[in-house]
Structure 1
Amino acid sequence: MSSEVQSRGPKLPPTYPPKTPTPSKKPVEAPRPQPDTKPKTAVGLPSPRMTVRNRRTAGLTFRSDQWAPSKAAAQAVVTVRAWGYPLLDEGDLEAAVRALVAAAVADRGKRISVHLADQDQKILVVVLSHMPGLDEDLSVLADVAALRTVESCSTDAASDGRRLSVLLDAEPRPRRKSAA
């Protein structure tokens, strides 16, 4: 057997170029353009988005049903309590969130988003209904504005739905004692 290997001699490199793979029959397709997922305004420009920076935030999402106001109010109080505001009137926070979420549920969307943020002893609550094109109902603002720690409240209609917001003071001033 060793004589057969020796008769062949040393292995020499081939005198022809190595085989290259055959090109594929299907040509390479250029990438398809992806649809623009950002909502456009009437003039074709991207709509402005709400941006909250340099502060603690929390985003809560709920299904739009009759239990959403209670769930959102309870979860908002737990979230803000964890941020450490001992003088915050939790009753006002709960009432404000409950009223704003109830108004958003009345818009008949599928979901509700509650966004919380804090800065300089203030708590911002923004509720999105995710139902664009609805009329602004301002009656909820009167109820929310009547709360003691509310500094301001507003509503606006955006391309992503109606936004309801309230700004609460986390360190309210003590009430004045009346002269008796």
Structure 2
Amino acid sequence: MLVRNRRSANWSLEAAVWSPKKACSNVVRQLHDWGYREADQAAGGLTEALVRATVADGGRRVSLHLADQNRQALIVALSHRPGLAVADTAVLAELTSLGAVSCGTDTAEDGRRIWAVLDL
């Protein structure tokens, strides 16, 4: 995955039950560092849902990516478990209910990606 022409941050986490909470604190802290303080609950909820879904894929680790542009945040979680089906509409419905203005999922050679865009 390549993010250009915008601020970004990323983290590699163990695929463990504690990872969604750790990911949430990483994303909220980074958004604060970038000057966004009003979207803590939505950003945290989206991050936890993304990471929880990728942990459930059964890989050994999860990569989490964050980028901002034009007062929007892109949050992406990658499961690092190739060969998984894309069609997980339950997680997309959850992301939408948590405030994502756009979301999606796809697969790549290095696993399933699930992403959400949040207005800040």
TM-score by length of structure 2 reads 0.95
Opposite residue 53 of structure 1, the aligned amino acid is R
Between the aligned partners of 1:121 and 1:166, the Cα distance in structure 2 is 14
Offset at 1:80?
1.0
Between the aligned partners of 1:54 and 1:98, the Cα distance in structure 2 is 26
Offset at 1:147?
2.2
Q: How does 1:87-102 map to 2 (within 5 A)?
A: 88-102=38-52
Task: Tell me the residue number matched to 2:3.
Answer: 52
Between the aligned partners of 2:12 and 2:3, the Cα distance in structure 1 is 17
Between the aligned partners of 1:129 and 1:141, the Cα distance in structure 2 is 16
Task: Tell me the residue number matched to 2:83.
Answer: 133
- Unaligned 5+ segments in structure 1 are 1-49, 171-180
Structure ranking higher on relative contact order (CA contacts 8 Å, 6+ apart): 2
Q: Does 1:69 align with 2:20?
A: yes
Opposite residue 98 of structure 1, the aligned amino acid is E
Offset at 1:85?
1.6
Which of residues 123, 138, 155 is equivalent to 2:73?
123
Per-residue CA distance 1:57-108 (angstroms, 9 max, x = gap) = 001110001100111011111011110024x321010000000100000011
Q: Which runs of 4+ in 1 moved over 2 A?
A: none
**Percent of paired sites with the same residue:** 45
Q: Which has the higher helix share?
A: 2
Q: Does 1:113 align with 2:66?
A: no
Offset at 1:120?
0.6
Aligned-residue RMSD, C-alpha: 1.0
Q: Which has the higher strand share?
A: 2
Between the aligned partners of 1:101 and 1:52, the Cα distance in structure 2 is 19
- Unaligned 5+ segments in structure 2 are none
Q: How does 1:151-170 map to 2 (within 5 A)?
A: 151-170=101-120
TM-score by length of structure 1 reads 0.64
Offset at 1:157?
1.0
